């Protein structure tokens, strides 16, 4: 009979209890034993919540103390040599060292999890001798069984995806590297089988990407081996985020179930099911509830979609589940007291999605009459929002404009004359530390305990303090510090029309870093200047140029929960038109540099190459729509995170920014290699140190990073900056690192200028 299932649950807790425990442990306020007890309590509470909701197959092992990919590396004892791990179970100190760095060792690379805003720690396999150092899936399975009476569904990151996401081996070694992990996975499955596990979920989202023929052969051999290793356990091969790239080959794999995303697949998985059918010896785990967006499910449409599959899969071979882990949505709507009731009734976070899964499962079992009340609530909730979802035709017509600035070579001459910057100009990405005092004052202002004028005075004092600090450090291009901003997307959403905001709608981004994505429920429109006051005030305090700081249209879309009744590109163009008005307002007020950040460009990128050109063209169009109306003398900057630079170099060039800064410090060598094969002839700054780690890098490290970069990039166009904003760092470490950075820039100026004489 049809079952309900979940793929993963948010770790952070309703009020971010998980995040707070991590940070208290890192700060030494919690002993390790206390920390473990707290996180155990959180994990068990989450399992019980899913059980109480009525989920049949509850995931265990999806919980993490930082990141599930890092967990997998630690499980197999894959620890870079620089952390001095002597073998055996990985200690928490070493585990967090890999994630955050230590005084002696840089952190492992961190990058985006497929096309999401979640970041994972990249495993380093060079010289690794994997072993089963620990078996958390078994431990978590026994915990759920013994303490809650739950026969859980252990979740494993599959060996093919794990190795594909890792670095430290040559492509031709892929098969042999995977082979080194297969016996370890087999041991895990055997131990789970002995402990009484019935189902195991093995995540292989890499099946939604473009695998080579050799990689497919490896994958088929892997699952043939694993299924034979533990014949008494049923394996669901789970995919998500898109359609599987080779459906007919996937469904022939010797597993017991296939998990398919039927929401974010572009219709591809559904078409494959109806065209090619589904094997009689397998279960279809149908990802029918959206695991990545927050709108209430249209239950009528969902049930109609499942009805279409009745001729393909019988009810006794059907599992109802979300399209992906619920890690990507907030925990619950019930605590959102500040949202209007009309909008609130249209929303569904993790807990509400669990109920939708159970409701749909009941309807499939018992028929639609069994959920008549839920169907009415679904209809009413969806109807509530329709009146705010209209597209302004005049703005959509404007969004089709094609704007083109003068050639960069001409702009460069004008800008060099007006700005007078030195060789290797130094700057930061935009934000400075958001101290407890800043956050406390902002909270008091939001509560009405501080007047608008007093809060404005406080913000100006912070700006003035950090303008002075930047002057003393010796930076060439300054920023106002963004002390008035909670989040680089939320801040702009609060100023624009068409957005709504939650109070506790937090989602994990990386480690303990959580973000609160805004909700785009209506047309986005400019209402009033958003950044002019703070930027102009900062510029009044210094003779050096101060950058205006904006968040780009694609990043705002990718870091928001977006309306689904019109194309995402239409929403991006609405945002771009609003930002263009802000760009023009900054320019009109004497700001000569304006940075429009697109750090999330990568995560919206389709997983399959054939779909990427359309996405990138739309992203370039939106960026230029926002930035191309300024004078040649106004310097446009942008910032983005490393994203297989070589694959998107033509699109990066097409943005036509005067200066681009790229987050690269954890993958610096890879990006330098990209520039050996691809030319870039406009201003560029490669992050010379990693802001995600609390350690202060040495002068030698930064100098080495600069030297490597200018071997393949024009020194006359090279900028020196950290790799990302400094919001999450402490004031002292920020100042110390920037002092070293400026010293490195001066050293390189002297070296290059001496060589030119």
Domain that holds residue 233: 3-387
Q: Is 431 part of any known ligand binding site?
A: yes
Of 356, 391, 398, 395, the C-alpha closest to 377 is: 356
Verify that 415 and 371 share a domain, yes or no: no
Q: Is 641 part of any known ligand binding site?
A: yes
Q: Is 19 part of any known ligand binding site?
A: yes
Verify that 378 and 422 share a domain, yes or no: no
Is 404 among the domain residues? Answer: no
Verify that 211 and 279 share a domain, yes or no: yes
Q: Helix 32-53 vs helix 350-366: angle between axes, to the nearest 10 degrees?
A: 30
**Measuring CA to CA, how many Å separate 517 from each of 434, 504, 556?**
19, 10, 9
Verify that 277 and 157 share a domain, yes or no: yes
Lowest mean pLDDT, pick from 38-47, 188-197, 682-691:
682-691
The CA-CA-CA angle for residues 48, 133, 69, to 5°, reads: 60
- Are the C-beta atoms of 263 and 291 separated by less than 8 Å? yes
Q: Is 461 part of any known ligand binding site?
A: no
The string of pLDDT tens digits covering residues 470-479 is 999 999 999 9
Half-sphere exposure of 350 (CA within 13 A, CB side): 27
Q: What is the 3-state secondary structure (H, E, C) of 350-374?
A: HHHHHHHHHHHHHHHHHCHHHHHHH
- Are the C-beta atoms of 509 and 516 separated by less than 8 Å? no
Q: Which residues contact 447 (CB under 8 A, 6 or more apart)?
A: none
pLDDT score for 397:
44
CA-only gyration radius of the chain, Å? 26
Other beta carbons within 10 angstroms of residue 21's beta carbon come to 23
The string of pLDDT tens digits covering residues 252-299 is 999 999 999 999 999 999 999 999 999 999 999 999 999 999 999 999
Cα gap 501→42, rounded to integer Å = 26
Bridge partners of 507, per DSSP, are 515
Cα gap 315→2, rounded to integer Å = 5
- Give the mean pLDDT of the chain: 92
Q: Is 378 part of any known ligand binding site?
A: no
Phi, psi of 354 (to 5 degrees): -60, -45
Mean pLDDT of 46-58: 98
What is the SS3 assignment for 260?
Answer: strand
The string of pLDDT tens digits covering residues 60-79 is 999 999 999 999 999 999 99
By DSSP bridging, strand 3-4 and strand 59-60 are unpaired
pLDDT category at 645 given cuts 50, 70, 90 is low
Pairwise pLDDT comparison (649 vs 551), residue with the higher score: 551
Pairwise pLDDT comparison (86 vs 496), residue with the higher score: 496
pLDDT at 419 over 80: yes
pLDDT score for 127:
84
- Are the C-beta atoms of 319 and 4 separated by less than 8 Å? yes
pLDDT score for 540:
98
pLDDT score for 393:
45
CATH of the domain at 153: 3.20.20.210
Q: Is 525 part of any known ligand binding site?
A: no
Active-site amino acid positions: 692
Cα gap 255→223, rounded to integer Å = 7
pLDDT at 389 over 90: no
Pairwise pLDDT comparison (377 vs 430), residue with the higher score: 430
Q: Is 603 part of any known ligand binding site?
A: yes
Cα gap 206→240, rounded to integer Å = 9
Verify that 478 and 553 share a domain, yes or no: yes
What is the SS3 assignment for 602?
Answer: helix
pLDDT category at 402 given cuts 50, 70, 90 is low
Q: Helix 612-627 vs helix 568-588: angle between axes, to the nearest 10 degrees?
A: 30
Verify that 337 and 444 share a domain, yes or no: no
Q: Is 146 part of any known ligand binding site?
A: no
- Are the C-beta atoms of 535 and 590 separated by less than 8 Å? no
The string of pLDDT tens digits covering residues 204-227 is 999 999 999 999 999 999 999 999
Verify that 317 and 449 share a domain, yes or no: no
pLDDT score for 603:
79
Mean pLDDT of 508-520: 94
Phi, psi of 496 (to 5 degrees): -100, 155
**Measuring CA to CA, how many Å separate 732 from each of 24, 696, 739?**
19, 10, 11
Tokens of 262: 């039927």
What is the dihedral sign for C-alpha 507, 34, 91, 663? positive
- Are the C-beta atoms of 447 and 694 separated by less than 8 Å? no
Verify that 501 and 641 share a domain, yes or no: yes
**DSSP character for 696?**
P
Is 403 among the domain residues? Answer: no
What is the SS3 assignment for 400?
Answer: coil
Verify that 454 and 366 share a domain, yes or no: no
Pairwise pLDDT comparison (695 vs 549), residue with the higher score: 549
Is 494 among the domain residues? Answer: yes
Other beta carbons within 10 angstroms of residue 349's beta carbon come to 24
The string of pLDDT tens digits covering residues 690-737 is 777 778 888 998 898 888 888 888 999 999 999 888 898 889 999 999
Other beta carbons within 10 angstroms of residue 540's beta carbon come to 12
pLDDT at 394 over 50: no
Residue 373 burial (C-beta neighbours within 10 Å; 0-12, 13-18, 19+): exposed
Verify that 36 and 183 share a domain, yes or no: yes
pLDDT score for 383:
65
pLDDT score for 360:
96
Is 591 among the domain residues? Answer: yes
pLDDT at 339 over 60: yes
Q: Is 208 part of any known ligand binding site?
A: no
Count of domains observed in the chain: 2
Share of the chain above pLDDT 70, in %: 95
Verify that 276 and 336 share a domain, yes or no: yes
Verify that 613 and 741 share a domain, yes or no: yes
pLDDT at 392 over 70: no
Mean pLDDT of 88-97: 96
Q: Is 166 part of any known ligand binding site?
A: no
Q: The whole model's pTM is what?
A: 0.89
Other beta carbons within 10 angstroms of residue 714's beta carbon come to 13
107 φ/ψ sector (left φ>0, alpha ψ -120 to 50, else beta): beta
What is the SS3 assignment for 88?
Answer: coil
Q: Is 16 part of any known ligand binding site?
A: yes
Sheet containing 635-641: order of strands: 547-551, 593-597, 635-641, 659-663, 683-686, 718-719
Share of the chain above pLDDT 90, in %: 78
Residue 366 burial (C-beta neighbours within 10 Å; 0-12, 13-18, 19+): exposed
- Are the C-beta atoms of 207 and 261 separated by less than 8 Å? no
Listed in sequence order, the DSSP H helices in 408-552 are 408-419, 436-447, 452-473, 490-495, 532-540
């Amino acid at each position: 009979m049809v079952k309900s299932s979940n793929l993963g649950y948010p770790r952070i807790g309703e009020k971010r209890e998980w995040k707070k425990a991590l940070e208290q442990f890192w700060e030494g306020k919690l002993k390790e034993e206390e920390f473990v007890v707290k996180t155990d309590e959180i994990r068990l509470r989450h399992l019980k919540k899913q059980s109480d909701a009525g989920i049949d197959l509850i995931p265990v092992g999806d919980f993490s103390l930082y990141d599930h990919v890092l967990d997998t590396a630690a499980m197999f004892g894959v620890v870079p040599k620089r952390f001095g791990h002597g073998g055996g179970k990985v200690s928490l100190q070493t585990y967090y060292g890999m994630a955050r760095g230590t005084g002696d060792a840089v952190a492992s690379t961190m990058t985006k999890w497929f096309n999401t805003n979640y970041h994972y720690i990249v495993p380093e396999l060079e010289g690794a001798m994997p072993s089963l150092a620990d078996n958390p899936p078994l431990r978590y399975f026994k915990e759920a069984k013994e303490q809650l009476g739950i026969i859980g569904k252990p979740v494993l990151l599959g060996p093919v995806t794990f190795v594909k996401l890792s670095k430290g081996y040559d492509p031709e070694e892929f098969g042999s590297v995977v082979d080194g992990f297969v016996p370890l996975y087999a041991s895990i499955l055997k131990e789970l089988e002995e402990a009484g596990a019935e189902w195991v979920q093995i995540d292989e989202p890499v099946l939604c990407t473009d695998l080579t023929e050799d990689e497919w052969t490896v994958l088929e051999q892997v699952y043939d081996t694993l299924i034979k290793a533990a014949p008494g356990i049923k394996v669901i091969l789970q995919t998500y985020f898109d359609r599987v790239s080779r459906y007919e080959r996937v469904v022939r794999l010797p597993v017991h179930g296939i998990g398919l995303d039927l929401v974010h697949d572009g219709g591809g998985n559904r078409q494959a099911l109806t065209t090619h059918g589904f094997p009689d010896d397998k279960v279809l785990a149908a990802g029918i509830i959206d695991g990545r967006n927050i709108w209430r499910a249209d239950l009528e449409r969902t049930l109609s979609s499942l009805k279409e599959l009745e001729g393909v899969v019988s009810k006794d071979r059907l599992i109802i589940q979300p399209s992906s882990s619920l890690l990507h949505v907030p925990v619950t709507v019930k605590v959102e007291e500040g949202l209007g009731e009309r909008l609130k009734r249209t929303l569904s976070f993790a807990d509400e999605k669990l109920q939708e899964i159970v409701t749909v499962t009941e309807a499939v079992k018992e028929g639609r009459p069994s959920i008549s009340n839920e169907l009415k609530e679904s209809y009413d909730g969806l109807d509530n929002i329709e009146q705010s979802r209209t597209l302004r035709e005049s703005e959509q017509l404007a969004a089709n404009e094609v704007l083109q600035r003068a050639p960069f070579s001409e702009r460069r001459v004008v800008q060099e004359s007006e700005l007078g910057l030195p060789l290797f100009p130094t700057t930061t990405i935009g934000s400075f530390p958001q101290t407890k005092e800043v956050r406390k004052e902002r909270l008091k202002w939001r509560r009405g305990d501080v007047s608008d004028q007093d809060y404005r005075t406080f913000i100006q004092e912070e700006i003035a303090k950090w303008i002075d600090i930047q002057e003393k450090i010796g930076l060439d291009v300054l920023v106002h510090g963004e002390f008035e901003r909670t989040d680089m997307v939320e801040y702009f959403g609060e100023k624009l029309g068409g957005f709504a905001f939650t109070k506790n709608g937090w989602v994990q981004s990386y480690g303990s870093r959580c973000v609160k994505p805004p909700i785009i429920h209506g047309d986005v429109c400019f209402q009033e200047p958003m950044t002019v006051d703070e930027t102009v005030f900062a510029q009044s305090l210094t003779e050096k140029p101060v950058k205006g700081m904006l968040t780009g249209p694609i990043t705002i879309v990718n870091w928001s929960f977006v309306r689904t009744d019109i194309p995402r590109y239409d929403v991006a163009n609405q945002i771009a038109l609003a930002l263009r008005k802000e760009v023009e307002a900054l320019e009109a007020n004497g700001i000569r540099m304006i940075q429009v950040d697109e750090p999330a460009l990568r995560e919206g990128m389709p997983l399959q190459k054939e779909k990427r050109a359309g996405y990138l063209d739309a992203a370039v169009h939106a960026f230029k729509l926002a930035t191309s109306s300024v004078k040649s003398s106004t310097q446009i900057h942008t910032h983005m995170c490393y994203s297989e630079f070589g694959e998107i170099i033509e699109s990066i060039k097409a943005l036509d920014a005067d200066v681009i800064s790229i987050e690269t410090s954890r993958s610096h060598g890879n990006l330098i290699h990209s520039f050996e094969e691809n030319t870039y002839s406009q201003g560029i700054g490669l992050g010379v140190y990693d802001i995600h780690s609390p350690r202060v890098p040495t002068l030698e490290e930064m100098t080495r990073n600069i030297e490597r970069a200018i071997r393949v990039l024009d020194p006359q166009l090279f900028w020196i900056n950290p790799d990302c904003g400094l919001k999450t760092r402490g004031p002292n470490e920020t100042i110390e690192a920037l002092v070293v950075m400026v010293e490195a820039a001066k050293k390189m100026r002297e070296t290059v200028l001496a060589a030119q004489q």
